[in-house]
Amino acid sequence: MTASPLTFQPRPTPHPAADLWQVAEIEALYDLPFLDLVFRAAALHREHFDPSRIQLSTLVSIKTGGCPEDCGYCPQSVHHDTPVENTPMMTVEDVLTAARHAKENGAGRFCMGAAWRGPKDADLNATLDMIREVKSLGLETCATFGLLQQGQAEKLKDAGLDYYNHNLDTSPEKYADIISTRDYEDRLDTLGKVRQAGLNVCCGGIVGLNDTRQDRAGLIAQLANLTPQPESVPMNSLVKVEGTPLNGAETLDWTEFVRTVAVARLVLPHSYIRLSAGRGEMPEAMQALCFMAGANSIFYGEKLLTTGNPEVDKDRQLMAKLDLLPLGG
């Protein structure tokens, strides 16, 4: 039988360096007709995943506000005049209560975020009991604490951490327009420490940062060329927050976000691709197309660090409409 012209034959994992994904190659995927692109991504997704299952994660801010970084999208930065206040770190018991609640609601992974440039050893040590206790509930554990110093990833691993999140945000070329207090290489260095410690990598980006399609392709190329590719890839749509420099960013057309999910699936065939920030502003039909295009994870719970997220009941209703089941449920 002759293969359909729409059948997508994925490239092998890029080795050696000469075979790395090129930005122009990824732009060519973006340029495919919209429905053809979604079809190809859906077909590849079904080769590696059960399309009826999605992974549910809950994200809790264990230390909010007061961050010294100047990320142009973030209301937790001390550089921006936003309503977010600098608050102390949560207690172990408060974190454990939130984790129990997340598990009761069906989450399989519990993610802890802290507004630090990177943790001091004392800060990190205070999180280790949190990780141990959350892990004891039978949940996967994830942390996003910023830049890591030598030996810190190993401590997290020893405490039972499963995933470390450290997003690249955008392409190397666009990065300096968004953040000036750290370099792209700083982020790559932390990802290297995470891998060396034997942790799973959670790494994605944000679209809608006044970025171009070439910028979005550049971000996906960076993710695709990590060796190995990230196990988890959060795709965020910018949530505009008053007081942040990107509050006035141009709104990206919804089809471009779906295209980004589909292209990410085509070049990251084995990764969980998570619909993350901005999902509260996405109509149900748009989310359904994202799931069709290969997204198979969501943040589950009413809040993501400091911004809103769909209510649990609303997500349950959407999953029921789409006949989606939680992974492991």
Active site residues: 67, 71, 74, 111, 142, 202, 274
Distance CA 284, CA 262 (A): 17
| Structure-token pair, residue 126 | 């205070």
Residues listed for the chain: 329
- Residue 293 contacts residue 303 (beta carbons within 8 Å): no
- Residue 135 contacts residue 177 (beta carbons within 8 Å): no
Distance CA 61, CA 146 (A): 13
Q: What is the biggest distance separating any 2 CA atoms in the chain, rounded to whole angstroms?
A: 64
Q: How far, in Å, are 37, 131, 143, 157, 195 from residue 188 at the CA level?
A: 29, 24, 17, 19, 11
Residue type, 153: A
- Residue 210 contacts residue 250 (beta carbons within 8 Å): yes
> What's the chain's Rg over C-alpha atoms?
19
What are φ and ψ of residue 10, in 5° steps? -65, 145
Distance CA 141, CA 312 (A): 20
Q: How far, in Å, are 71, 81, 228 from residue 264 at the CA level?
A: 24, 34, 15
Q: What is the DSSP track for 136-170? A: HTT-EEEEE-SS--TTHHHHHHHHT--EEE---BS
- Residue 268 contacts residue 233 (beta carbons within 8 Å): yes
Q: How far, in Å, are 111, 159, 165, 198, 201 from residue 195 at the CA level?
A: 18, 16, 11, 5, 7
Distance CA 147, CA 188 (A): 10
- Residue 127 contacts residue 145 (beta carbons within 8 Å): yes
